[in-house]
């Protein structure tokens, strides 16, 4: 009751039968394959269809599992989705399904930064003067400019595609010690997560019916703060054997509603 009414202001937690493209396709998705899978998911009685990573320009340059390339462009790959993503939302709705879309707003490919419409280098998190990767970096949400840039890109995407569901992924952890971000050398990650709450709070106010999935490398960001703003959580990337999944549900169920 505390979680539903105290944290979530009465918003229920409804578990949906979900189809996700990742394990079948990786980033190798296009309009034709998605339409085919929507038909199959509808025939099976699924309730939610989620297009996972790979819908944006630049994805897959390093192979079928490379979803880091292209992060930060926020541009639909016109070659694979010539009619955009809104038509897939409409198609899923026509087949009786909710439509979901994967995003990873906190991470950007270094090849995309410092353009007119992309993330700027001063917003990036650093630890010991390094990004933590040679290819990608985390945006430090202690930066108000970084938060606003992300919020603008997400709202533009939502308004364009009109999904029912966002799969909000996070695959990078760094304790930013960079000066000028409004945090000290030891609390960068704590300040970042508080900035994340601000972004999610803004989205919740603007899109009260939008469902948001909390994904963080498999359970790395399961907390009551995220439960206030998100509606389902990915427990662990290790989803087999089934006894392991049941064990996780039993443990997490001590704090989090199993739904």
Catalytic residues: 169, 237
31 by Cβ neighbours in 10 Å (0-12 / 13-18 / 19+) ranks as middle
- 101: nearest Cα among 195, 166, 43: 166
Determine the Cα–Cα distance for residues 166 and 211; give it in Å rounded to an integer: 6
């Amino acid at each position: 009751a505390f979680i539903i009414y105290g944290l979530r202001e009465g918003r229920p937690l409804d578990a949906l039968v979900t189809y996700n493209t990742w394990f079948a396709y990786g980033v190798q998705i296009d309009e034709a394959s998605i339409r085919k899978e929507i038909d199959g998911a509808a025939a099976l009685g699924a309730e939610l269809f989620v297009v996972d990573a790979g819908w944006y320009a630049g994805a897959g340059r390093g192979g079928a599992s490379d979803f880091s390339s292209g992060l930060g462009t926020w541009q639909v790959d016109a070659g694979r989705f010539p009619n955009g993503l809104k038509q897939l939302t409409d198609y899923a709705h026509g087949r009786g399904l909710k439509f979901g879309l994967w995003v990873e707003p906190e991470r950007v490919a270094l090849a995309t930064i410092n353009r007119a419409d992309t993330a700027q280098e001063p917003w990036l998190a650093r630890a010991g003067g390094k990004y933590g990767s040679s290819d990608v970096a985390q945006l430090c949400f202690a930066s108000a400019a970084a938060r606003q840039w992300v919020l603008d890109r997400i709202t533009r995407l939502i308004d364009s595609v009109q999904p029912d569901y966002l799969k909000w992924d996070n695959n990078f952890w760094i304790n930013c010690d960079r000066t000028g971000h409004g945090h000290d050398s030891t609390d960068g990650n704590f300040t970042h997560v508080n900035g994340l709450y601000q972004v999610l709070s803004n989205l919740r106010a603007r899109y009260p019916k939008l469902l948001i999935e909390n994904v963080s490398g498999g359970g790395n960001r399961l907390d009551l703060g995220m439960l206030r703003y998100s509606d389902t959580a990915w427990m662990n990337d290790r989803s087999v054997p089934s006894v392991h999944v049941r064990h996780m549900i039993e443990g997490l169920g001590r704090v989090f509603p199993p739904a």
